[in-house]
Structure 1
Amino acid sequence: MKDWREDKTFFRATIALPVIWFFIFFVIPMAIVWAYSVGENVGPVDVAITGTFANYAKAFAPEVLKVMGDSIWLAALTTLICLVVAFPVALAMTFADDKQKTWLLLLIMLPFWTNLLIRTYALIAVMRTSGVINTGLEGLHGLLMTVGLPLGSFEPLPLLYNKFAVVVGLVYVHLPFMVLPLYAALDRLDKSLIEASLDLGAGHLETIRRVIVPLAAPGIAAGLVITFIPALGAYLTPDLLGGPDDLMIASLIERQFKRANDWPFGAALSFILMYITLLFFAVRAFLERKGGKVGAH
């Protein structure tokens, strides 16, 4: 009987459907969008594919560059906050016992069981002027006033419809994307190296800096990319939590397709976002080649 690994017919039959699916639902639609990006509007709903790169040149207009810069800055800040918060969480999960790991993983995965729109509206209910946070602060303010502290009148904190709310929302949504790859990388570490570092006199912070972080570099790189890219292309969270001046690139793309009816420019912006994504995948691949070694100094 022929080995299944040598049976080319079986292999082709197995791979055919996924390849066809990939071409029909990914390659062809992306090719159409790319063709639009080098086209021009010739009517209310018609686009002529002319091979022009004028749509890409329009992306260098000051107002568009500002939106891109804000998007990159907000996505980078979100990613950094997620890394700072997720690393100790993933480290604690690594050294927890099996029963605790199960519950901690469940808590990390729990947000994925709820629709993003519902989670965002729940966050709005917490952060709005009459929401949980401001109501709690108002109650605390009243309590402090009753004991004689001259605090003046209470002013609700402006927690919504600004960049602060956008960052909070992006961190809230994307934190699990950072925790999971970090945990996967840390859980594979050789614990004897950590014990050896501590036995040789290195403190916990020094062990984290010189042993754990270098060994977990591939997981850190994966977490940075997996968090940054969705945050950069986020649409729903900035649209609901941000103000009129907190436009991100996904919202700008949506406006080109729906409001401005400039499909070629919207397609060009979409591919610029994809080019940025490919750049960060290249950075991730570079960091993975460099990572996984304990520093010698």
Structure 2
Amino acid sequence: MADGDDRQATFGSDGSLETETTPDATGENDYGEEKGPNETDGGYSRYVVSSLLQKAVRRSDEEVAAWAAWELARSGYAWNLWDRLNLYVVEDLRAGDEVALLIERYEELATERWEPDAWKGRLCAIHAALAAARARSTREASNADAYFSAVAEIRSEARERGEEPAHDFPVGDLEPDGRFDAVFDGHTGEGSKRGRGTRFFKTHGARVGPEGEDEQSARWQRLAMLLDEDVEYDAAELDRAVEPVDSEDPWESPESTGDDSEPDDPGDDGAEDDDPEVDGTGSLTDFAE
């Protein structure tokens, strides 16, 4: 990859523009004139073209995004282009979009296999810009960061005044026995003190949803629990372990705690037929289904 961070011109602490120009960006523009600092071949400011690229990606304007990427690449500012495109992936696109990997691959081809301002490099730049512009645009990460940061300040100020904050984080105080009790398993100090080991994790902490486990995964989960030599699970716990969480309240917790400190004998509740070792007609596989 190009060392964009080392070569990118920025605004100084006093607000002045630092105009370091890389060798690739020197020469004449399209009009045969000597290019000025941070000038593209078309006679534009690279800062303006870079900003245009981001706004075009955000607005899903494919043609403008493709042009802006091409202009930066051909003008010797490919390092600036790829640096910005990678930023847009996390700033302006929906989380989980595979375009992030695609842009990384285009950058690798353009900068490591080919010359970034040559024909193949310019094609990679256009492809990457089009991929970004066609992806689902959203400011969700930036908006979340701004919101959480504002709430953090409000909480801090409220604490200094000895008051309850007008706005709080979505997890509140994050204490045991609260809405997020499932997180306090054996991986946490509080969970360990409460004896919440494998049983609690399997029946509370490891639950997924709201789609739930697919049939094969649920079968494996049940069988793994049945074959556990250290913990015995009853039928209700096996069901709970693979039950998807509520889509309306994914943190709703089953009534029992599942503490490993509590003995659990499947025969104690009279459901002996559910025990694969007691039921002579069944099998582990049958019981796991």
Give yes or no for TM over 0.5: no
What TM-score do the two structures reach when normalised by structure 2? 0.23
Which structure shows the bigger proportion of residues in helix conformation?
A: 1
Higher alpha-carbon Rg: 2
